[in-house]
Amino acid sequence: MLQMAHIPTRSSERTESHPIIIAGGPCATFNPEPMAEFIDAFVVGDAEPVLPGLIDLLRDTTENTRDQRLRSMSELAGVYVPHYPRDVTRAVYKDDTGAVSDILAEDAEFGKARLVEIARGCGRRCRFCVAGHIGRPVRWMQLGKSQEDRDNSERQGLVGAAVFDHPDAVDYCSSIYAHGGTFTLSSIRLETLNDNTCELLKSAGVRTITIAPEAGSERLRKVLNKEVSNELILSTADMVSNAGVPKFRMYFMIGLPTETDADVEEIVHLTEMIYKSHPEMKIGISVSSFVPKPFTPFQWHPMESPQTLKRRYAIVRNGVSGMRNVEFGGESPRLAYVQGLLARGDRDFAGMIESAAISGDYTSAIRETGIDLQKYIYRQRTEDEYLPWDIIDMRISKEYLWREYQMAIQGIPSGPCKLESCRACGACSETE
Q: Where along the sequence are the contacts to ligand SF4 (CB under 6 A)?
A: 123, 136-137, 417-419, 422-425, 427-428
- Cα dihedral value 76, 80, 81, 84, nearest 10: 80
Q: State the nearest-atom distance from the C-beta of 96 to ligand SF4, in Å.
A: 17
Q: State the nearest-atom distance from the C-beta of 146 to ligand SF4, in Å.
A: 24
Q: What angle do CA 149, 155, 160 make, to 5 degrees?
A: 90
CA atoms within 13 A on the CB side of 55: 6
Q: State the nearest-atom distance from the C-beta of 396 to ligand SF4, in Å.
A: 7
Q: State the nearest-atom distance from the C-beta of 126 to ligand SF4, in Å.
A: 12
- DSSP assignment, residue 201? H
| β-strand pairing of 41-43 with 22-24 | parallel
> How far does Cα 109 stand from its chain's mean position?
18
Q: Which is nearer to ligand SF4, 359 or 406 (CB)?
A: 406
Contacting residues for 380 by C-beta, under 8 A, at least 6 apart: 300, 301, 302
Q: Which is nearer to ligand SF4, 68 or 429 (CB)?
A: 429
Q: Which is nearer to ligand SF4, 230 or 414 (CB)?
A: 414
Q: Which is nearer to ligand SF4, 112 or 418 (CB)?
A: 418
Q: Which is nearer to ligand SF4, 367 or 418 (CB)?
A: 418
Q: Which is nearer to ligand SF4, 127 or 344 (CB)?
A: 127
Cβ-based neighbour number of residue 148 at 10 Å: 6
Separation between Cα atoms, residue 281 and residue 301, nearest integer Å: 38
Q: Which is nearer to ligand SF4, 61 or 431 (CB)?
A: 431
| β-strand pairing of 119-120 with 139-140 | antiparallel
Q: State the nearest-atom distance from the C-beta of 138 to ligand SF4, in Å.
A: 7
Q: State the nearest-atom distance from the C-beta of 123 to ligand SF4, in Å.
A: 6
Greatest Cα pair distance in the chain: 71
**Contact predicate 315/266, CB 8 Å:** no
Q: State the nearest-atom distance from the C-beta of 415 to ligand SF4, in Å.
A: 9
Burial 186-210 (b: 16+ CB within 10 A, else e): ebbbbbebeeebbebbbebebeebb
Measured distance between the N- and C-terminal CA atoms of the chain, rounded to whole angstroms? 39
Q: State the nearest-atom distance from the C-beta of 417 to ligand SF4, in Å.
A: 3
Q: Which is nearer to ligand SF4, 238 or 393 (CB)?
A: 393
Q: Which is nearer to ligand SF4, 305 or 431 (CB)?
A: 431
Q: State the nearest-atom distance from the C-beta of 129 to ligand SF4, in Å.
A: 13
Q: State the nearest-atom distance from the C-beta of 90 to ligand SF4, in Å.
A: 13
- DSSP assignment, residue 116? E
Cβ-based neighbour number of residue 261 at 10 Å: 12
CA atoms within 13 A on the CB side of 391: 19
Q: Which is nearer to ligand SF4, 251 or 402 (CB)?
A: 402
Cβ-based neighbour number of residue 340 at 10 Å: 23
